[in-house]
Amino acid sequence: MNTTRLPTYFVSHGGGPWPYMDGEFRRNFNLLENSLHEMRADLGNAPRAILMVSGHWEEQGLAISSGDRPGMVYDYYGFPDYLYHIAYNAPGSPELAQRVQTLLRDNRMEARLDPTRGFDHGTFSIMKPLYPDEDMPVVQLSLDAKLDPEFHIRVGRALVPLRDEGVLIVGSGLSYHNLRAMRDASGEIPSREFDAWLQRTLFDFAPEARSERLIHWEKAPSARAAHPREDHLIPLMVALGAAEQENASLTYHQKDFFGNLTASSFRFGQPPNFQN
């Protein structure tokens, strides 16, 4: 068994099926793509599987993808036709799905196995740059549709043992997610204000206070302007909960995302190849 404790990540995953595109739209994600390549280099060969918590999968309660060959979920619109025929062909892991279910149940949280769930773009948009050979097993964990931040921090706490078992826990969302403001260019100040609060919360507060601030994230400057609905923020709670006592680091930061937006990704804990 892997004896290296892996860090956890919250990744701002970008828009739609961007890794499968080229041209101007794809260039919006150059910094994000570079950060994912650096993430892979930091991790080396330590992970044996990925547990992805995607902001694009919500259920009443929790669900875990348990198929051995997941299909695709084309959960975006307005893109060229060929992007509805792409495939990310990584294997699933029924064994890991059952392990996640057991850990959650041991902590009094029920989760059902879903053998039919495919990869949504919150998953494959990250995995394609990270593991282009499509050889890393991936299991997805849904959000609970109530989107309770405290509950999802507890979910992360239940999953801590996976970090010592070679499983990389990744929360996939966006630090800023207001689609209307993305289109009309009104998100510059709200995205900057919320990102500054998020960084201060993650970097400057002790673990208990940090978690408490995230539970009450709606009190942050521009909170609801940044997240009219918090589906893309809640994966952060799981990543934090699974490494609650560990320091946060900034792994991606961009002030001109789609022109004028601020977006960030974070790591909790140190990667295997970390050097003091």
Q: Is residue 2 part of a domain?
A: no
Q: Is residue 1 part of a domain?
A: no
Residue type at position 74: Y
* Number of folded domains that form the chain: 1
So what's the pLDDT on residue 115?
Answer: 98
So what's the pLDDT on residue 103?
Answer: 98
Q: Is residue 275 part of a domain?
A: no
So what's the pLDDT on residue 1?
Answer: 43
The Cα–Cα gap between 22 and 4 comes to: 37
So what's the pLDDT on residue 238?
Answer: 98
So what's the pLDDT on residue 274?
Answer: 65
Q: Are 239 and 189 in contact (CB under 8 A)?
A: no
pLDDT tens sequence for the chain (276 residues)? 445 899 999 999 999 999 999 998 999 999 999 999 999 999 999 999 999 999 999 999 999 999 999 999 999 999 999 999 999 999 999 999 999 999 999 999 999 999 999 999 999 999 999 999 999 999 999 999 999 999 999 999 999 999 999 999 999 999 999 988 888 889 999 999 999 999 999 999 999 999 999 999 999 999 999 999 999 999 999 999 999 999 999 999 999 998 899 999 999 999 987 654
Distances (CA, A) of 112 to 165, 172, 253, 261: 22, 20, 35, 37
Q: Is residue 276 part of a domain?
A: no
Secondary structure (3-state) at 229: coil
Q: Is residue 201 part of a domain?
A: yes
The Cα–Cα gap between 268 and 250 comes to: 9
Pairing of strands 261-268, 8-12: antiparallel
Residue type at position 68: D
So what's the pLDDT on residue 184?
Answer: 82
Token duo for residue 53: 């918590």
Bridge partners of residue 268, in order along the sequence = 8, 248
Mention every residue, 6+ apart, whose C-beta is less than 8 A from residue 37.
Answer: 129
Q: Dihedral (C-alpha) 54, 63, 248, 148: value to the nearest 10 degrees?
A: 100
| Domain extent for 97 | 8-268
pTM attached to this predicted model: 0.96
> Going along the chain, which residue ranges are E strands?
8-12, 49-59, 62-65, 111-114, 138-144, 167-173, 248-257, 261-268
Query: Residue for token digits 């918090």?
Result: 230
Q: Is residue 249 part of a domain?
A: yes
Bridge partners of residue 9, in order along the sequence = 170, 267
Q: What CATH number does the domain containing 18 carry?
A: 3.40.830.10
Q: Is residue 35 part of a domain?
A: yes
Q: Is residue 3 part of a domain?
A: no
Q: Are 174 and 12 in contact (CB under 8 A)?
A: yes
